[in-house]
Amino acid sequence: MLQVSDLKVSYGQSEVIHGIALEVEMNETVAVMGRNGMGKTTLFKSLIGALSASAGDISLDGKSVTSMESYDRVKHGIAYVPQGRMIFPTLTVEENIRTGLSSTGKRNIPEDIFALFPVLWDMRKRKGGNLSGGQQQQLAIARALVTDPKVLLLDEPTEGIQPSIIKDIANVLNEIRKLREISIIVSEQVLSFTMAIADRIIVIEKGNFIREDRREEVDEAQISKYLSV
């Protein structure tokens, strides 16, 4: 589904991602774990096209999207839920979701979105900026889902969210996988969350992938060592 080869990303002269390779199968969920400053967000931004790659290739279904702009990548099936959620604060919840419709040409929000996130239906007339952190996270996921993605990128979805909601988000993500043909790449620091959703866990350190395990084979103590400060 998604192939990334030899991806390098730099801020000016300083290279932050040093030639990463990644392959994600259809319906697979991959977690990229690592401490702050190891390159998770940079990697995700370059996948969606908010940062351009200095070398390497990103392909979706065999078609290279490396030189495409963000909106074009969305049209080809990549969706992005950024760190910090970045919903549009002065747009209503409904308008926030509608922004995702522009790439599909659909007029109405599909009903299954509100079935997944009933709280958004209750809040649909409220301004996005007035929602709680957990509700904003659900809104950001809903906004990404209405673009009909093949690959969903989630950058630290549990950051700053209370534990009970983290469980809800894990359940929703598993629900989405059942309902749709979708691959998910998630970056995280919370191991219990990734253990609940991921098929594969990759550890990133200083811009390189240094370890990869299938969930069944994960040694939690080992991976925790890369996460604790």
Partner 1 sequence: MEGYTASELMSIVAMQGFAGISLFSVLLLMALGLAIIFGQMGVINMAHGEFMTIGAYTTFLLSSMAGEFGLVDYYFPVAIIVSFLVAFGVGYLTEWALIRHLYARPLDTLLATWGLSLMLQQIFRTVFGAREVSPAMPGWLQGSWQPTDAIDIPINGLFVLGLTVLLTTAVLYYLYKSRSGVKMRATTQNRMMAGAVGINTKRVDRFTFALGCGIAGVAGAAFTTIASTGPTTGSLYIVDTFMVVVFGGAASLFGTIASAFAIAEAQSIMEFFMSGSMAKVLTLLFVVGVLMIRPEGLFSVKVRK
| Of residues 132-171, those binding partner 1 (CB under 8 A) | 143-144, 147
User: Contact letters (x/-) for partner 1, 24-63, by CB under 8 A?
Assistant: ------------------------xxx-------------
**Nearer residue to partner 1 within complex by CB, 114 or 226:** 114
Residue number with CB closer to partner 1 (75 or 215): 75
Burial of 14 (0-12, 13-18, 19+ CB in 10 A): exposed
Task: State the number of binding residues for partner 1 (CB under 8 A).
Answer: 34
**Which residue is listed with tokens 């970056």?**
187
- Residue 89 contacts by C-beta under 8 Å, 6 or more apart in sequence? 127, 128, 129
Candidate residues 16, 32, 58, 74; the one interacting with partner 1 per rule CB under 8 A: 74
* Tokens (6 digits) for 110: 């599909």
Using alpha carbons only, what angle is made at residue 79 by residues 83 and 45, rounded to the nearest 5 degrees?
45
- Whether the CB-CB separation of 118 and 142 falls below 8 Å is answered with no
Stretch that binds partner 1, among 32-40, 127-135, 160-168, 214-222 (CB under 8 A): 127-135
Spatial neighbors of 50 by CB under 8 A, at least 6 apart, are 70
Residues lying near partner 1 in the complex (CB under 8 A): 48-50, 69-71, 74-75, 79-80, 82, 86, 88-91, 95-96, 98-104, 107, 127-131, 143-144, 147
